[in-house]
Structure 1
Amino acid sequence: MAALDGILATLRNDADRAAFVTQLEQLRASLAARTQAAPNAAAPATPAEAADPPPEAGLLGAVAAGLTDVGQSVREHVEGGTLRQRFAAAGEQLAGRLGTAWEEGDVLRFLLWAGGGWGLAAALLYGLSALPWLRPRRDAERFHPESRADLWRTAGLEAARRLAPLVPATMVIFGWTAMVPGGWQEARLFLAVATPFLLGALVWRLGYPLFFLLGPLRGWQIARYARRRVLPWLVALAALAAASSNLRDAELRWIIGPDAALLAGLAVDAALVVVSVLFVLRRRRAVRRLLVDSRTEAATGKGGTFRAVGRTVADYWHFLALILVAGHVISRLLGLGQGAFLGRALLSIGMILLVITVTFALSGMLARLTEAMQQGRGSLARQLQGRYLALLRQLLRVLATVAVAVLCLRLWNFDILAWISGGIGFAIFRPIASIAVAVLVGWVIWITLDTAVEHALTPSDSAGRPRDHSTRARTLLPMLRNFAFVVLCALTVIAIMSNLGINVAPLLAGAGVVGLAISFGSQQLVQDVITGLFMLIEDTIAIGDTIDTGDRAGTVESVTIRTVRVRDGDGALHTIPFSQIKALKNRSRGFGVYTVKVVVGYDTDLDRAMKIMNEVGEELQNDPALGPNMLGGLAIWGVDQFTPDGITILGGLRTRALQQWSVGRAFNLRLKQRFDREGIALTPPRPSLVMPARGAWPEPEAGPDSGTEARQPA
């Protein structure tokens, strides 16, 4: 109605009607100039037709097509003279309106009329503030509340003192057009200039008691610092936001001209962006201290969902503020910013806080459930549920971020759902969704395999009973897990590259050729790998086994796909390629046998000696330390051979793997002790030479032919 009344008033007035006709002629001339700038331009294509990339281009091709389309649009605007025409049209509009109004004396009348209202409001605001009973109290008089009720009472009285002078000033501003009537255009300009100052004064006067209430929670020092350093920035932001909102009003744009209002709005928005960025960068820590008290959090170490949300917002509020400022700038440049920055920013912050609160509540519930499932040694299904719940927590945060982005973009007049439904948006969204699905599927498969392997290698089951893992399982399962990880990573990378628009077929073919060349050039390496693979599959060797390869013997410490590492008795570590192992002796499989070899004299009673050997073997079986390592008593195989040293009796002790030497040493010790008590010699006595006494044998004849000389008697 006000706009129609303004048009009717313009048409009734001859001078206003002539100015209006002049503006319409200028608008037509501007449109004609834009049309002549591109006379041979084809019909504009739809966004889907203009920026639809080829199907095989992938994400990189879609992004390149979108950037090309945006760059072409920007270039057309710049080269077509859109900005120059905007400035020229704005200058013509301001010159026409101000020139006509100056010639007719409307400018002077408006300044006198509006100046009276502005001056009266300012006089009331600052005059009443100087009264003793409305003057704000000093910090020393109000910053010492004794109780919570006293705090709220003091804050309320302080707010009343500060807002009382603002009430009559506001009444004067909004009632001036009724007290001193003027035209609707003058009234709209009067309010457009006054409302930013009123909003700034409201924030300034209301900020003091609000910061006063934060004193007991955050400390009086930070509260005073916020009043001095933070509050002026908030006042400037509120005033600039109100001015930016006023310049988008249709009536004000009609009064000062659409192009002039657009350029003025852009200038105010630029100032708003600069002030916002400076405020965020310079007062980041102060605002964080106001949002959450880090000292109390660190001292107590407690906090629920709302405290967690508060800490998160306090830690990352500057990023959120910069994102909102960037969104406002982009929306204004794209022509989407038709709403007020302050209102949309507050709605966005409220929406983000709501989504974050719900997400933190659900995430905390899932975290407690996951912790309960992962306590102790549960079954495989329980451990998988715990890992899946942890993955669900991450997905919940990602989905919450996406939901916040979609809702905020919709709030800032950008319908991303409609954008991704076709054209360049769908071409960008489809490969991103494919990449996300590929990563998610690979992640789920890896979680399942890793949990299954970890559960299989646990030393005890869910009931706490120890498990008897085979060395084959302890060797192969970690290797298979690593192999699966490499395969999943390779497949995921291939899927990502394919969705990015990179042709992976030549890469795979080239990798195959390179692999074939490497296999031909390193036949020894291929032989090591193949031999080791068959050895591991056939369970020939495992970690912890004691092996003998002919030239090296020791305990297996680690096994790879190509080599085995053996630690010998001297502590040296040998790395042996599998292809160098021609024959392998594994002492750790099944059982061990200690060969008993006893040599007795020919005068020994063999039956009695073998009976004693059996008795010693039975004593070993009954021994609490050695008996569990034996799989049976002594098995005497019989008399093996007759040698010059004596009669050899052979037997065997069957023991657990790698225990034959300790059992054999203990058997030898006890057998020696028993034979000594029984008077049985293990070896015959050494032969001795007995010399006869003198005269027992005839003396040899002396003579030259006897080979001896005659001896003289002593």
Structure 2
Amino acid sequence: MVTASTNTENLVQDVSSWWDNPLTQDWLIDKPISIAITLVVAFFAHWLLRKLITKAVERGVKTPPKAEMPRIFGRGGAKKEEIPPEVVIMRKTQEQRRQARIRTLGAVGKSAVAIFVWTWAALTILDKLGLNVAPLIASAGVAGVALGFGAQSLVKDFLSGIFMLIEDQYGVGDTIDVGDGIIGDVEDISLRTTTLRDMDGTVWYVRNGEILRVGNFSNEYAIARFEVPVGLSNDSERAWEVIEQSFLDAVKQDAIKDAVIEVPKMKGISAFEPDHMTFRGVVKTLPGYQWEVQRYVYARVLSDMQREGITTPYPHGMGAVVKQADS
């Protein structure tokens, strides 16, 4: 009995000594509590920052852009002007694109927050476990520099994509020109690439970092321009009247009248060549409809010119020989 009692006391003393050991207290109490606190803080910070970003996105989506201040002087005074239906459609399209851009930026912000918070949490936990994180941070810096040199084109694509979204250079559904003869409708946008489909149906995947310039044919409004060649044998004033009236009548066609924003403007003779003169006209249209308006207007102008006897240069084709009627 004495031996058993002695062994029990020794065991209790060993357990007490082990429990009272500062190293044991540190690993079983202090470090787990510190790690748990770090995880709780990380979870809370991640949740809070995502919540703030979501609130900001919702507010940005629901808050329309500030309307222009009413005019106090000039025509109409401060009276509220009636907005044409085509302008309402144009503004609705722009609003949808603005909302899509805000949501995309919100998603990018949430990803950046997650990376920042959990990287901080991982480094803090490693530090609590007694690991020296300074060499890790230094190694990460060296690795980041090496990765930056090795994947600099990828980094360039992402940075270009971020600035493109912030500056709202173009959006899904826009018709853009990215250079090298690539013109098409934007089908998808990511931080790395922009997907276009041209008029022949070819899909182009263009890296954002390779886009040095962008021509957007669909931003707010478009201009349909007309160049009509007229032979020098025609009376210029009569040709001007016929073409101008044809412009005004052409845009009233049911197929395109809803796409025209303003009354066509006849600019007059824009070029004078040895064999013809060129009459130019312009009309403001909804974005993306300028080519359709051009097709209808050109067809109408040609018909009206033929009916009124206004000829184009070489009406029978270059080099054609026209037989003169016997007198």
Q: Same fold (TM over 0.5)?
A: yes
Counterpart of 1:539 (choices 165, 168, 182) is 168
**More helix by percentage:** 1
Give CA deviations for 1:98-149 in whole Å, capped at 9, x if unaligned: xxxxxxxxxxxxxxxxxxxxxxxxxxxxxxxxxxxxxxxxxxxxxxxxxxxx
1:566 has 2:196 as partner: yes
Counterpart of 2:207 (choices 557, 577, 583) is 577
Secondary structure in structure 2 of the residue aligned to 1:631: coil
Aligned to 1:517: 146
CA shift for structure 1 position 554: 1.0
Does structure 2 retain, via aligned residues, the 8 Å contact 1:453–1:481? no
1:616 has 2:246 as partner: yes
1:447 has 2:76 as partner: no
The alpha-carbon distance between structure 1 residues 639 and 434, as it changes in their structure 2 partners (threshold 3 A), is closer
Does structure 2 retain, via aligned residues, the 8 Å contact 1:600–1:682? yes
The alpha-carbon distance between structure 1 residues 39 and 508, as it changes in their structure 2 partners (threshold 3 A), is closer
CA shift for structure 1 position 655: 1.9
Letter in 1 for 2:100: R
CA root-mean-square deviation:
3.8
The alpha-carbon distance between structure 1 residues 577 and 494, as it changes in their structure 2 partners (threshold 3 A), is same
Counterpart of 2:158 (choices 506, 525, 529) is 529
The alpha-carbon distance between structure 1 residues 526 and 607, as it changes in their structure 2 partners (threshold 3 A), is same
Secondary structure in structure 1 of the residue aligned to 2:46: helix
CA shift for structure 1 position 564: 1.9
Aligned to 1:432: 36
CA shift for structure 1 position 526: 3.4
Gaps of 5+ in 1: 1-29, 56-60, 63-423, 461-465, 694-714
CA shift for structure 1 position 609: 2.4
Counterpart of 2:108 (choices 482, 495, 500) is 482
Counterpart of 2:280 (choices 634, 647, 650) is 650
1:688 has 2:326 as partner: no
Give CA deviations for 1:575-608 in whole Å, capped at 9, x if unaligned: 2223333333221224322221222233423223
Gaps of 5+ in 2: 65-91
Q: For 2:275 and 2:197, locate their aligned partners in 1 and report how far apart those are by CA, in whole Å.
A: 39
CA shift for structure 1 position 517: 0.7
Q: For 1:658 and 1:671, locate their aligned partners in 2 and report how far apart those are by CA, in whole Å.
A: 22
CA shift for structure 1 position 664: 1.2
The alpha-carbon distance between structure 1 residues 43 and 533, as it changes in their structure 2 partners (threshold 3 A), is closer
With a CA cutoff of 8 Å and minimum separation of 6, indicate the structure with the bigger relative contact order: 2
Secondary structure in structure 1 of the residue aligned to 2:263: strand
Question: What TM-score do you get using the length of structure 2 for normalisation?
Answer: 0.71
Give CA deviations for 1:433-484 in whole Å, capped at 9, x if unaligned: 4423421331232234235436655799xxxxx7852635523532442342
Aligned to 2:263: 633
CA shift for structure 1 position 518: 0.9
CA shift for structure 1 position 490: 4.6
Aligned to 2:118: 492
Secondary structure in structure 2 of the residue aligned to 1:515: helix
Q: For 1:681 and 1:589, locate their aligned partners in 2 and report how far apart those are by CA, in whole Å.
A: 37
Q: For 2:324 and 2:310, locate their aligned partners in 1 and report how far apart those are by CA, in whole Å.
A: 29
Q: How does 1:180-191 map to 2 (within 5 A)?
A: none
Identity of aligned residues (%): 27
Q: For 2:15 and 2:148, locate their aligned partners in 1 and report how far apart those are by CA, in whole Å.
A: 58
Letter in 1 for 2:137: L
Give CA deviations for 1:346-383 in whole Å, capped at 9, x if unaligned: xxxxxxxxxxxxxxxxxxxxxxxxxxxxxxxxxxxxxx
CA shift for structure 1 position 663: 1.1
Question: What TM-score do you get using the length of structure 1 for normalisation?
Answer: 0.36
**More strand by percentage:** 2
Q: For 1:44 and 1:524, locate their aligned partners in 2 and report how far apart those are by CA, in whole Å.
A: 60
Aligned to 1:398: none
Does structure 2 retain, via aligned residues, the 8 Å contact 1:599–1:645? no
